[in-house]
Every structure is written in C-alpha cells, then in structure tokens.
Amino acid sequence: MRALRLTDTGPVLDREYPTPSPGPGEALIRVRLAGICATDLQLLAGYKQGYRGVLGHEFVGEVVKAPGHEEWVGQRVAGELNIGCGHCDLCRRGLGKHCRRRESLGIIRRDGAFADFLTLPVANLHPLLEALPDEHAVFVEPLAAALQLLEQCHIRPDQRVYVLGDGRLGLLVAQVLARTGCDLTALGRTPVKLAILAERHISTARTDDPAALTELLARPADLVVEVTGSPDGFALARQLVRPGGILALKSTFAADLPAFDISSLVVDEITLLGSRCGPFPPAIRLLAEGAMAVQPLIHARYSLDDGVAALEHAGRRGVLKVLVGG
C-alpha cells in the first residue's frame, strides 16, 4: 500500500509499505480522507522525541475487516487516536488516553492515517452519520479536542474569555466556546482567518495592533485559551489572564518554552489547564447539524501520491486545513 511516513531524512511516500493486519479486537480501515494538523507539522520538527512511522491521526475511513466484530464491516467511521494498555492503574480509572504505555495513531508507536489502510481497536471507532460528508467528517477529531474544554471548565455567560490563536484549532475552539454565551473574543494576526469568525458574529481582535492589544491587556480575561501553536504564545496568554483566572493550553510543539516568571503564577493564583483529546459523539452531531463552519477552513486537497507536497503546503504561513486522500 501507499504510506506517507516520517524518516530520519524527512517525509517520504512509500508505495510498497506493508498493509497492516488487525490484531485481536481491531479493525482494518481503508482511509478515505485525512487532515494535516499542527501536531503532524511539529512531528516533522522533532516533537515526541523523533517519532518515525506513518503520520496522520485525523481521518475518515471505511471498515473492511474486523475479525470477531463483523458488524463494523462496511461502516464509515472516525477513530480516536489513543490506545491504552487496558490494564494499568490509569486505564482502570478511565484515563486510557494518558496510559504510560499508550500508542497514539501517527504519533506514538502506531502507524497513522496518511496511508491507504490503518488499524485501530473497534473500541476507538465511531460510526458517522450519513448526512456528514467526508470533507466535514475529517474535522471530528480536532472538533472533539475543542469540545474537551467544555468537559474541563464550566464556562458561564458572564465570564470574559479570550481564544489566542487563529489557526486550524483556534477557529474551532472559538466556535465551540461561542455556544456557551460567554463574553468571547478571538485573537489573532490574520484578517482573513478572523473574518471566518466575524461572519459568525464572534468578536475578534488583532494582536499585532498595538492599540487593540493595549485595550485587551487592560481587560484581562477569566479564561484564556492558548492555541497559537507557538512557544511565544504562552507569554502573551499569561499577560491576558486575570489574577485567579484559568490559562488553558492547547498548543503542542517541539520547541521549549522561553523563560517565564513561574512565581507570578503562584502570586496571581493562576490555574494552568492542559487540554487535549475530547469527546467524539457531540463533535459528530455538531458537524452533521452544520453547526460548525468548517468548509472555509479547507485550503487545499491533495492525493496521497502528492502527500509530501501536501505537508509542505500545510506548513506555509497562513494556511489552514490541508486534506489528503485518494
């Protein structure tokens, strides 16, 4: 089969990569469409201590084989990327996505979705509604990650919330949080991206506008969601959160954070909240209902044959979602 894998010399398209075989409780899935996200690009830069293998974890696929679970065969699915061992203390407490021995699709010890086929446990699969087209269904995983914030925080309508970052995930996070009725402002540097939110009546502001930034800093937020994908984003996010507020971190990147005053977190009693993967069923429902603007986020689509070029395109400044499939 074809597979876009990360090697010591960079990404390469392998046309004779072995087709995987499903293990016990697993399904073999034909990938219909996959999306490139910031984590994939950070893996190219060395995130996760040099992962080597097939990239990709946002996908829509069709189950072609599921030994012992034949009811899944023929179903169109999305899949959760984390596979815990199922036996450790964390897995027994329902924290399998934090299992110390976990595999993660296209990230940790498990070949990913930029290939003709992949395998996942059937327990990780979610059937997709017929009304949900592939190009929208590929957003299930990142939208679920955005929804995780609602699992972790009770966001009230009277709270001021800033979403810092107007990239792929930031635009989804802003749309999710807007549904809470909070006093929301999405912050970024790219007018065309912020316009996607403004068209949905979400307040926006430019962080590269000194006057706008001064006004924001004078009105610190109860909750700041940092989703810039850059180490520099943390410093600004820290300035934007009020004493006693919450700083939620969504970015993952290969580089280290620049030095910062950790004592100020103590003095101002700031809550740091890491936020990662989230619930698939509500993500599928919201996308099927057309409640999320995802079509404007799609900037390009490539065949898997041109996967290396797709990664290069996705890494360009200002580019949102690049899809790979076919």
185-197 tens-digit pLDDT: 999 999 999 999 9
Query: 90 pLDDT exceeds 90?
Result: yes
Which pLDDT band, with edges at 50, 70 and 90, does 230 fall under?
Answer: confident
**Euclidean distance between CA atoms 238 and 246, whole angstroms:** 10
pLDDT for 120-150, tens place per residue? 999 999 999 998 999 999 999 999 999 999 9
Query: Residue 18 has which token pair?
Result: 């072995």
Across residues 237-247, what is the average pLDDT?
96
Flag the least confident range among 53-62, 175-184, 248-257, 305-314: 248-257
CB atoms within 10 A of CB 230: 15
Homologous superfamily of 3-139+294-324: Medium-chain alcohol dehydrogenases, catalytic domain (3.90.180.10)
The pLDDT mean for the chain works out to 95
Q: What is the domain partition of the chain in residue ranges?
A: 3-139+294-324, 145-274
With cut-offs at 50, 70 and 90, classify the pLDDT of residue 17: very high
Report, at the CATH architecture level, how domain 145-274 is classified.
3-Layer(aba) Sandwich (3.40)
Count of Cβ atoms closer than 10 Å to residue 28 Cβ? 20
0.75 surpassed by pTM: yes
105: left (phi over 0), alpha (psi -120 to 50) or beta: beta
Taking residues 222-239, report their average pLDDT: 92
Q: How far apart are CA 67 and CA 26, in angstroms?
A: 7
pLDDT over 90 at 168, yes or no = yes
**Based on the number of CB atoms within 10 Å of its own CB, is 211 exposed (0-12), middle (13-18) or buried (19 or more)?**
exposed
